[in-house]
Amino acid sequence: MPSADSWGSSPASPIGFEGYEKRLEITFSDAPVFEDPCGRGLRALSREQIDSFLDLARCTIVSQLSDKHFDSYVLSESSLFVYPHKVVLKTCGTTKLLLSIPRILELAAELSLPVLSVKYSRGTFIFPGAQPAPHRSFSEEVSVLNGFFGGLKSGGNAYVIGDTFKPNKKWHVYYATEEPEQPMVTLEMCMTGLDVKKAAVFFKNSADGRCSSAKEMTKLSGISEIIPEMEICDFEFDPCGYSMNGVFGPAASTIHVTPEEGFSYASYEAMNFDPSSLVYSDVIKRVLAGFSPSDFSVAVTIFGGHGFAKSWAKGADVDSYMCDDLVEQELPGGGLLMYQSFTAIAPGAVSPRSTLEMDGWSSDGMETSVNSDDMCICWDAGKKVVKKDVDA
């Protein structure tokens, strides 16, 4: 396994900031009762211990909000959520997210928490050439992930989902598990080409000299109305940019905004909520109202089956947007990933039939498109294996 120091320093993009996040979710099984009688699990970690793995990823804590179920942290580059048996780390820019893994696993082992599953996901970077190792390609990321998690019962499973003719709309997922997970629904939404006027809300200083706070940005953008029950911890960056975490019982949400024209981006995520209490299409529409992007994608990961997921197990139909892609991908352990991408259209236009295409890699490990049947690209820890997956 590579050490954190072996990858070198991260280059800065001369063009703009990378909004697309890398997201890592590691779930752990229970510790023996005599080891953790109060069931605090990962929440027993000190601030110093948390900083120790964030430092490896190249990000810091700027704000915090907790309830009785979990702790949420707004970071200098996105967010961290710590549940008793789950850690979700989401970082943007040129952070080195995967370098945090060995320290996270070390801390979990000290708490007698064995790994149950891991999920890594991201979109297609706007500035891929600016990414440092180990994030220079998905194949490189998969190699690192397999080094830590390829020994889980399912083995490492990697997927690149999207239309071959739209290379900037690929969704990358790695998943490995020891056993089926508890029922849960997670929404990941990525938006590009934000409406200029709506993006202007997220500049700290306006053209007329007015200074905006994070709370004003939250209200003016309508973010506070997406799931009104959420208690929000928000943060504004100077000169522009915005992040927030939302907390409601065990449910969490998070938004991150890069508003600069030319590479504007916003993301929305919600997880661990009761899917029967929210209507999928309504949440999507409330998010879009705050940003009016030219393009967006949604990835819904479901554990617990269609019956548990309710409306979240169906594709969204959004006015004024054409669905470019609609994909359902089964995951090991009974999971399901639903991915859709959309492009803004003039009123009255008709969507073409959705298609599923998958990516492959060239012999040198670079990401490259292939024309083939639907494919599930899976890795063992030591080699790459391509398998047909006609039911994907």
Consult the annotation and say whether 77 binds a ligand. Answer: yes
Catalytic residue among 13, 59, 79, 92: 92
Dist. CA 293–CA 128, nearest whole Å: 21
Give CA torsion, residues 289, 244, 25, 71, to 10 deg. Answer: -140
Instruction: Evaluate the CA torsion angle 100, 101, 102, 107 in order and state its sign.
Output: positive
**Known active-site residue 52:** no
Cβ-contact 144, 67 below 8 angstroms:
no
Catalytic residue among 139, 243, 253, 267: 243
**Known active-site residue 59:** no
Give 106's DSSP letter.
H
For every residue of 170-203, DSSP letters joined together read: -EEEEEEESSPPPSEEEEEEEEES--HHHHGGGB
Dist. CA 111–CA 378, nearest whole Å: 31
For every residue of 266-323, DSSP letters joined together read: EEEEEES--GGGS-HHHHHHHHHHTT--SEEEEEEEEESHHHHHGGGGS----TTEEE
> In this structure, what token pair is assigned to residue 300?
């819904």
Give the closest residue to 317 by CA, choosing from 345, 291, 275: 345
> H/E element holding 196?
helix 196-199
Catalytic residue among 256, 264, 267, 297: 256
Residue 333: CB atoms within 10 Å: 18
Cβ-contact 255, 283 below 8 angstroms:
no
Catalytic residue among 13, 72, 78, 297: 78
Find the angle CA(149)-CA(8)-CA(192) to the nearest 5 degrees: 70
Consult the annotation and say whether 236 binds a ligand. Answer: no
Measured in residues, the chain has a length of 392
Dist. CA 105–CA 236, nearest whole Å: 32
Give the closest residue to 232 by CA, choosing from 250, 214, 220: 214
Consult the annotation and say whether 260 binds a ligand. Answer: yes
Dist. CA 269–CA 255, nearest whole Å: 7
Dist. CA 190–CA 210, nearest whole Å: 29
Consult the annotation and say whether 237 binds a ligand. Answer: yes
Cβ-contact 375, 389 below 8 angstroms:
yes
Straight-line distance from the first to the last Cα atom of the chain, in angstroms, rounded to the nearest whole number: 32
Residues annotated as part of the active site:
78, 92, 243, 256
User: Residues within the annotated binding site for substrate?
Assistant: 17, 77, 237, 260
